[in-house]
Structures are given as C-alpha cells and as structure tokens.
Amino acid sequence: MNIVELGGTGIHVSAICFGTLTMGPLQQNLPLLEGAGILEFGFENGINCLDTAELYQTYPYIKLALKSKPDAVVITKCYAYDAATAKSSFRAAVEGIGREYIDVFMLHEQESAHTIRGHYEAIEYFLKRREEGAIGALGLSTHHVAGVLGANRYPELSVIFPLVNLTGIGIADGNRDDMEQATMQAHALGKGVIAMKPFGGGHLLSRREEAIQYMRGLPYVHTIAVGMQTKAEVLYNVAAFVGKTPPEEAAAGISLQPRRLMIHDWCEGCGKCALRCKSGALRLEGGVAVVDNEKCVRCGYCASACPQFCIKVV
C-alpha cells in the first residue's frame, strides 16, 4: 500500500487509515483480543495508521495491537477546551495506548473558527507537548465546511479530518462541492488531509464501488479513515482503495447491509441523546427517542450520552 507524507507534518501514512470506532463499545463492542487481532491483520496488510478518539474507548485495542507495530501512526481526538482538560486528555491517550507519543492530536467535532477560538487554551497545551516531542502534529476533525475553513486560518492546526464522501451525506453546513473547495484550500496551505466517512456511515454501502472510486479520485486527500470490524473488510478495503480487485472471499464476506441505530425500548425519554446529535437525527416522540435514518450517519456518539445505555449501532 502506498505511504505518503501527511501534508508537511513529516508523518507518513498509508492510503487507508484504520478507523477503530466501529469495533469499540459505541458500536460492535468486539472482545479485546479479537479487535486487536483485526488491527494487527491491518498492519500485516500494509495499513500503518490508526484512527481513534477519547470518546471511542478503543485505546485498549490499540495498546495491544501496538505490541506488534510500536511505531504505527496513532491519531486521536478529544473535546478538551482548556489546559486542565487538555492535560487530562493527553494523559488518557498516552496511558491508554501505552506509548508516550501521539502522532496526531485533534480537537474533536469542531464547527468553525469560533469553536476553535473557544478551545484555544487546549491548543496551547498541545503545542507545548508538540515542542517537547510528545505530539507530532495538531489538527481538528469536523463535519462542517466552516470547521475546515476555520482550521485554514490557523497554521498551527496542520492536519484536518473532514467528512468527505460521494454524495456529501453528513456534511452539516453545505454540500460536497463546498467541502471539496474548503479541503482543497487546506491542502494548498500544506495541511495534512484525512477524509472520514467514505461510505457516509453506511448510507453508501449499496454504491460501495462508486463511493471508493470517488474517494480515490481526490488528489488532496492523503489518507482515508475506514471503519472496519472484520478481516474480510480489511482485505476488501486494502485492495479496493488502491484500485485492485478485492479477493473473492473478502468480497463475499463483507456486509452490504447498512448499519442502523437501535434504540432499546427501555428509553426513558430524557432527550440527552438528541442534544448530543449534531446531525439533527434524533427527536423525542411519544416520550421516547426516535431516529431519522436519512440524517443519521451512524457515528454512535449519541450512545455515549445515554445514561440508560439504550443506543447501539448494529
């Protein structure tokens, strides 16, 4: 698999980056050994880069998998907004993965230059860790075009992680063309670009080949984060995303069924999930939470807000 430099960061990443959200407790909740084994299988097949976040609770899988590849590139994200929360997130990451170095540390779910400003004290903390060599680069992840445009105003945010896909599904404040323009601008500024949600959270699985073709045609994307839960998915994606025909057994083993959000019937209608969802996909109806499947991108973030543990991506 091709390895390229992530913008001007000096960090080198494979054409696809292993998204770990899908194997963790917010989604499939794979047993530890099984999940770590699939990450190691990804390494054996040329992937050198893992995508996680404090929210995902997948550091234990990564810690175990890093035993077979201690120098893998690790990208993580957090909601820190000041020095204290940044320190806590940094410690959680290095202790969680068992390594005193994080390649890319990101502010999670940024919406615009305003939210970046609101988190600047955390950025200052991470910049100090970068100067000490404990962090390779700083960046942000976003579903918003304005999030990318905001990052473009901050040279110290040298990596962006925007939502990019064939139909633009999940982009909160614009369409595919708007996101392409903003991301191209970021690339021209020398930023590293990691694209997320190439299958739109499962909406585009029925157009899988077309969705992959589209992503492969974006010259300003350095790596594409793909969530995977099985070895068949790994084999399929490491072939398909570099333009090869996936092995037959891998193609037969991958699911074409879009995942869906399941809300258990013990929902108490507190509404915390609806407040957490940035896609406007949840509402209360008849005293319980109801999902709009057209808007939901199956990120599973609402599950982390539910005190009754009634939400799962299946």
User: Which residues of this chain interact with ligand SF4, rule CB under 6 A?
Assistant: 261, 263, 267-273, 276-277, 279, 281-282, 289, 291, 296-302, 305-306, 308, 310-311
Residue 147: closest CA among 112, 192, 184: 112
Q: Which residues is 192 bridged to in the sheet?
A: 159
The residue among 46 and 269 lying less far from ligand SF4, judged by its C-beta, is: 269
Q: How far is the CB of 293 from ligand SF4 (least distance, A)?
A: 9
Quote the tokens at residue 169. 């599904």
The residue among 7 and 200 lying less far from ligand SF4, judged by its C-beta, is: 200
- Compute CA distances 10 → 13, 30, 112, 192, whole Å: 10, 33, 26, 10
- Compute CA distances 37 → 59, 138, 226, 232, 295, whole Å: 14, 28, 17, 13, 33
For residues 219 and 227, what is the distance between their CA atoms, to the nearest angstrom?
Answer: 21
For residues 214 and 203, what is the distance between their CA atoms, to the nearest angstrom?
Answer: 15
Q: How far is the CB of 292 from ligand SF4 (least distance, A)?
A: 8
Quote the tokens at residue 305. 């807000």
What is the SS3 assignment for 214? helix
The residue among 139 and 300 lying less far from ligand SF4, judged by its C-beta, is: 300
The residue among 150 and 300 lying less far from ligand SF4, judged by its C-beta, is: 300
The residue among 1 and 310 lying less far from ligand SF4, judged by its C-beta, is: 310
Quote the tokens at residue 123. 């950025």
The residue among 54 and 103 lying less far from ligand SF4, judged by its C-beta, is: 54
